[in-house]
Copies of this chain bind each other. A is one copy, B any other.
């Protein structure tokens, strides 16, 4: 972390965090639909035009995650080996263990928000779908089979989102790491025999 990356880029990133925080505060308090982008801009001391330039849509104020982009290639790394699900499982265990309480709180906050508004859920799905495409393309070029990779990666990501949704619906009772683990087990063995 902490790359120099140009002074200008730094300021932009700082502004994005400031705007996202202001947005989450307002959305938590009044609900996503009841807050206008103009109100967010004012609270973050930026112009609405700038908010749109940075985030594109109102939904992205919630969906956007600085860590998303760099997370793609590690995931691809896991998937191209001999035991993709196993490798992914180990990687995710490690990832969850590294999360602090603050990060988890932020995650719960964003997930709660997402499932409280259909337009946010929609945006999450689109975002995930785009990620799936880029991951699948990378996996396909490493493994050779385009079709199989597309289907599998889409199913995988969607299954994980299902786990996340379950996490939310159960009031965040079960730790997300455990749910992800169980989801991966379902995806690993397939569903052919009900096995019970």
Contacts and interface: CB of A to CB of B under 8 A. Distances in A.
A33 to B, nearest CB: 15
A156 B126 CA distance: 17
Contact of A129 (B83, B125, B147): B125
Contact of A166 (B85, B118, B147, B161): B147
B85 A191 contact: yes
Given A191-B84, A192-B188, A194-B82, A154 B158 contact: yes
Interface stretch (A13-21, A42-50, A179-187): A179-187
Interface residues of A, number: 45
A148 interface: yes
Contacts of A82: 193-194
Interface string A74-100: 000000001111100000000000000
The A interface is mostly helix, strand or loop, or mixed, namely: helix
Contacts of A153: 162
Contacts of A193: 82-83
A143 interface: yes
A133 to B, nearest CB: 9
A105 B14 CA distance: 50
A58 to B, nearest CB: 14
Contacts of A172: none
A80 B124 CA distance: 29
A85 B161 contact: no
Contacts of A154: 158-159, 161-162
A150 interface: yes
Interface of A: 82-86, 118, 121-123, 125-126, 129, 132, 136, 143, 146-148, 150-159, 161-163, 165-166, 179, 182-183, 186-194
7 contacts: A86-B192, A122-B122, A147-B163, A154-B162, A158-B158, A188-B191, A190-B190
